[in-house]
């Protein structure tokens, strides 16, 4: 249970940093920001495992999570431009 709480706090922190550094995504609630950070960590972990940077059971760090969240913001911004 404490691991889930830690993941949520780390996701919120990564999401806030990604929103500061990426100009899009300013109209998000704190819950959406937390999910953005969690998604960024998941995406960074998957990319890291595919490239061999992380082993099985290793999670992405804060910087990789922020970069993953910024990638998600970029993708969502591109998707909104098309529609």
Going from N- to C-terminal start, the domains of the chain cover: 10-82
Residue 81 has pLDDT above 90, yes or no: no
Residue 78 has pLDDT above 80, yes or no: no
Angstrom distance (rounded) from CA 64 to CA 49: 12
Angstrom distance (rounded) from CA 9 to CA 30: 11
Report the pLDDT averaged over residues 39-55. Answer: 88
Query: pLDDT tens, 3-34?
Result: 788 888 899 999 999 988 887 656 788 898 89
């Amino acid at each position: 249970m404490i691991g889930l709480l830690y993941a949520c706090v780390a996701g919120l922190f990564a999401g806030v940093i990604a929103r500061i550094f990426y100009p899009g995504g300013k109209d998000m609630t704190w819950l959406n920001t937390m999910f953005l950070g969690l998604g960024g960590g998941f995406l960074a972990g998957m990319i890291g495992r595919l490239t061999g940077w992380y082993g099985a059971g290793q999670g992405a760090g804060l910087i990789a999570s922020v970069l993953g969240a910024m990638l998600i913001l970029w993708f969502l911004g591109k998707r909104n431009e098309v529609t």
